[in-house]
């Protein structure tokens, strides 16, 4: 009985530590695992469970040899994030303007219909062709789930972090736990403090990870999570809300920032650029203002369109440079012609003066 009480208290402390990382909102957790907030849910409090900063911090702690394995999983763009945080007022506003019925985002007088392809373009995570179906005998699946939890009843992110940082090699257990951590912090974070291990049944080895339909899974779950959040009218929101933030920022115009559009937006939009844009919005206008201009898209396939647009702009700039060079060459030729004429006149003048000089000396009877 005493042992059960100690284990329950230890579990409670671990959950309290884990949920305390959510942010600067005053949160607490009761003995039954329920979450209490100092803010009333009716105030439309929006607390994302998506934790990009946490994911980035873990990647920086992993051994370099693990990065190749992460790339083979299909998560190279995610591990390429240098820093990227969520701006909750912005995320809350984007969620308010997201229509779950047709998965459209209506901002600044424009409507963007989002799809799994949009998610793939922004996050760099692709569909591999296979759904998340359970692989293997149920007993084998349960064994893999128990191994991922290390025998614990619940799997918390704080435990996953410790396991992954201490990992010595890229074995099946590391792959399983890294996938769960990626799911729990970025791609499919739930509104709960625990990481669901149901996906373990579909992950059997390293090569099986990239074959899954991650873009469709993540996008579909995000839409469902926002629908649940709106029905609750506040509280925790699951799903990859980072996608909405980066998609929105990547379409903004007028901020005078250079954005490399040859790489996935999730990599291009670092925290420094994101902060600059948020400050620019707050100083010049506000969320929802129609004074802010947005880039045109085609049902989320903005990357291809923007690349064509950028190529067109580059061609125009090249033509302008060519004209400039031709003008400089023409001007150079004219200048050289004038210089050549001046030199010729000068040489002729010197020659004439020399002849006059020599002629004068001869008349005086001097030997030249």
Q: Is-contact 270 82, C-beta < 8 A?
A: yes
pLDDT beyond 80 at 233? no
Domain residue spans in the chain? 14-300, 302-368
pLDDT of residue 52: 92
Structure confidence by residue, pLDDT tens digits, 40-96 = 333 457 889 999 999 999 998 998 889 889 999 999 888 888 777 899 989 999 999
pLDDT of residue 244: 96
pLDDT of residue 38: 31
pLDDT bin (cut points 50, 70, 90) of residue 315 is low
Q: What is the mean pLDDT of the chain?
A: 78
Structure confidence by residue, pLDDT tens digits, 254-295 = 787 888 888 889 988 887 788 888 888 877 666 767 678 888
Write down the pTM of the prediction.
Answer: 0.69
164-79-66-262 Cα dihedral, nearest 10 degrees: 170
Share of the chain above pLDDT 70, in %: 74
pLDDT bin (cut points 50, 70, 90) of residue 22 is very low
Of 271, 269, 277, 273, whose CA–CA distance to 253 is shortest?
A: 277
pLDDT of residue 215: 96
Between CA 133 and CA 131 the distance in angstroms is 6
Between CA 237 and CA 259 the distance in angstroms is 29
Query: Which residue would you say has higher pLDDT here, 361 or 173?
Result: 173
Structure confidence by residue, pLDDT tens digits, 202-232 = 887 888 899 999 999 999 999 999 999 999 8
The whole-number average pLDDT for the span 167-184 is: 92
pLDDT of residue 23: 36
């Amino acid at each position: 009985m005493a042992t059960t009480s100690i284990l329950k208290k230890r579990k409670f402390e671990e959950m309290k530590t884990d949920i305390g990382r959510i942010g600067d909102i005053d949160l607490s957790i009761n003995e039954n695992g329920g979450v209490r907030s100092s803010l009333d849910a009716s105030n439309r409090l929006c607390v994302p469970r998506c934790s990009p900063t946490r994911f980035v911090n873990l990647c920086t702690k992993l051994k370099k040899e693990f990065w190749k394995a992460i790339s083979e999983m299909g998560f190279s763009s995610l591990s390429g994030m240098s820093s990227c945080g969520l701006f909750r007022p912005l995320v809350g506003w984007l969620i308010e303007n997201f229509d779950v019925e047709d998965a459209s985002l209506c901002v600044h007088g424009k409507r963007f219909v989002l799809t799994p392809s949009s998610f793939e373009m922004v996050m760099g995570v692709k569909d591999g062709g296979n759904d998340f179906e359970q692989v293997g005998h149920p007993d084998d699946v349960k064994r893999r789930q128990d191994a991922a939890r290390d025998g614990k009843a619940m799997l918390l992110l704080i435990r996953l972090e410790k396991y992954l940082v201490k990992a010595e090699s890229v074995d099946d257990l590391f792959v399983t736990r890294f996938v769960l951590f990626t799911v729990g912090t970025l791609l499919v974070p739930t509104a709960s403090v625990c990481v669901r291990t149901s996906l373990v049944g579909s992950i059997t080895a390293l090569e099986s990870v990239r074959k899954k339909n991650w873009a469709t899974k993540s996008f579909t779950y995000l839409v469902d999570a926002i629908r649940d959040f709106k029905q609750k009218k506040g509280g925790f929101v699951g799903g990859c809300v980072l996608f909405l933030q980066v998609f929105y920022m990547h379409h903004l115009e007028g901020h005078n920032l250079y954005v490399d559009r040859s790489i996935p937006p999730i990599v291009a939009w670092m925290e420094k650029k994101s902060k600059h844009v948020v400050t620019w919005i707050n100083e010049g206008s506000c969320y929802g203002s129609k004074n802010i201009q947005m880039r045109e898209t085609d049902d989320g396939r903005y990357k291809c369109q923007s690349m064509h647009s950028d190529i067109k702009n580059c061609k125009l700039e090249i033509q302008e440079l060519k004209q400039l060079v031709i003008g400089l060459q023409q001007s150079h030729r004219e200048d050289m012609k004038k210089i050549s004429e001046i030199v010729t006149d000068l040489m002729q003048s010197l020659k004439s003066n020399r002849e006059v000089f020599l002629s004068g000396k001869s008349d005086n009877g001097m030997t030249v």
